[in-house]
Amino acid sequence: MKRKTSSNSPTDELGGIKDSPFLVSGCLLGIGCRYDGGTCPSSGLIRFASSASLIPICPEQLGGLSTPRPSATITGGDGDDVLSGCARVVNQEGKDVTDAYKRGAEESLRLARLTGARIALLRERSPSCGLSTPYCEGKSGIGRGVTAALLHSSGIKVFGILPEDDFPSPDLFELIKGRGWDQSN
Ligand code: SF4
């Protein structure tokens, strides 16, 4: 006889998400993929990396952009609007880099699909990775970056990470406790 399981546990609600690997913004792991060639490491995330299954990504590099590269902003909306064709990404030199940003988002999603990743830990504020980036013309002055928007709309659970913040946040802790992360970390 099948045992009845509680529908209220986090695992049930998230449909097995707790077992998935994580997509992670490479710059948060200390990889120098930022637009200026720099990095923005999260020490807590780096500790987590030693025992977790992580897939580092840099959507801007995956989209074919070089490092270093001019910084860019989303004009005419946010990442969701870029994906629907209503907004563009323009770099500091005035060059339209929309296609590269969209390609990077699609390649990131491809990696998520290939690896079974259903959680993404992305650098907050980036026009690519940010869950709420100010580098856009979103309705409230902030909006999702292009990759964050595509992953979110594709059913990937996205968490915005700032290197200066404590890692993990309480909601993220619920997903990673016992998976290479305990209260003692
Ligand atoms: S925030 Fe995302 S796109 Fe920007 S450098 Fe980091 S990984 Fe690359």
- For residue 34 and ligand 1, the question of a CB distance below 6 A is answered with yes
C-alpha to C-alpha distances, 70 to 46, 76, 93, 101, 162, nearest whole angstrom: 27, 19, 7, 13, 21
- Give residue 176's pLDDT band: very low, low, confident or very high (50, 70, 90): confident
Best of 23, 24, 25 for a ligand 1 pocket test (most atoms within 8 Å of beta carbon):
25
Nearest protein Cα to ligand 1, atom 6: 27
Q: Domain range spanning residue 63?
A: 19-176
Q: What is the pLDDT of residues 91-115, one digit of tens each?
A: 999 999 999 999 999 999 999 999 9
- Does 2 score more than 70 pLDDT? no
Indicate the number of domains in the chain: 1
Best of 126, 135, 151 for a ligand 1 pocket test (most atoms within 8 Å of beta carbon):
126
CA gap 58, 25 in Å, rounded: 6
Task: Give the burial class of 167: count Cβ atoms within 10 A of its Cβ; 0-12 exposed, 13-18 middle, 19 or more buried.
Answer: buried
Q: What is the pLDDT of residues 72-92, one digit of tens each?
A: 999 999 999 999 999 999 999
For residue 95, what are its two tokens?
């060059």
Q: Would residue 112 count as lying in a domain?
A: yes
**What is the structure's pLDDT at 20?**
85
Q: Would residue 6 count as lying in a domain?
A: no
For residue 126, what are its two tokens?
């980036």
